[in-house]
Amino acid sequence: DKAFAQFLTDEIKEEKKIQKHKSLPKVSGGWELEVHGTEAKLARKVAGERITVTFNINNSIPPSADDETQEEQKPDEQEPDLTSTPNFVVEVIKDDTKQTLVLDCHYPEDEVGHEGEEESDIFTIREVSFQPTGESDWKDTNYTLNTDSLDWALYDHLMDFLADRGVDNTFADELIELSTALEHQEYIKFLEDLKSFVKCQ
């Protein structure tokens, strides 16, 4: 256990050294952030609507692309930065209705990192449904629209609808940044907890 604890101490030092953000980066556009463990919620109000975006950093780091690149790496090169790209759920709540429009979004694995392609969105909408406002449990009996078979014009309108509410590529980029910082922070905390657990007699 001693060796394990020593390893963890060194690991924590290293991780803190490469930690980009001591405090979590802000998301522009007046979003308020609440964090509960690995779950984060961003909220803002826009003209008679409340918009919330919820995501969980667990399992949000895609598996390393291919092992072949590992071999070509020169020994002194840094490991590639791990990026957290969590699925996120956007809820749009209109003040005067009892319904919430819920859009389940994610980052397609092959899209991340293709900068310069102005046209493509860095996130996609996977599912859309209405849920009763204020109920934490979603009903499976509510119709859920899967976007795989959706008319493109309707899909584009949904993307525009989100963009008008501040959920656009810039937001999605900043969400990755926030999520990555949060994931790293939680990872360091986990290592610290593990260290005290191992040392505990």
Ranges of each domain in the chain: 1-60+83-109+120-199
Query: Could you confirm whether domain 1-60+83-109+120-199 is CATH 3.20.190.10?
Result: no
Which residues fall within 8 angstroms of residue 64, CB to CB, at 6 or more apart? 70, 80
Please report the pLDDT score of residue 65 as a whole number: 53
User: How long, in residues, is the chain?
Assistant: 201
What is this structure's pTM? 0.84
Please report the pLDDT score of residue 86 as a whole number: 95
Per-residue CA distances from 145 to 58, 129, 162 (Å): 25, 6, 16
Q: Which residues of the chain fall below pLDDT 70?
A: 64-80, 110-119, 135-136, 138-139, 201
Angle at 112 between CA 108 and CA 118, to 5 degrees: 105
pLDDT digits (tens, 9 = 90+) for 131-176: 888 766 766 778 888 998 889 999 999 999 999 999 999 999 999 9
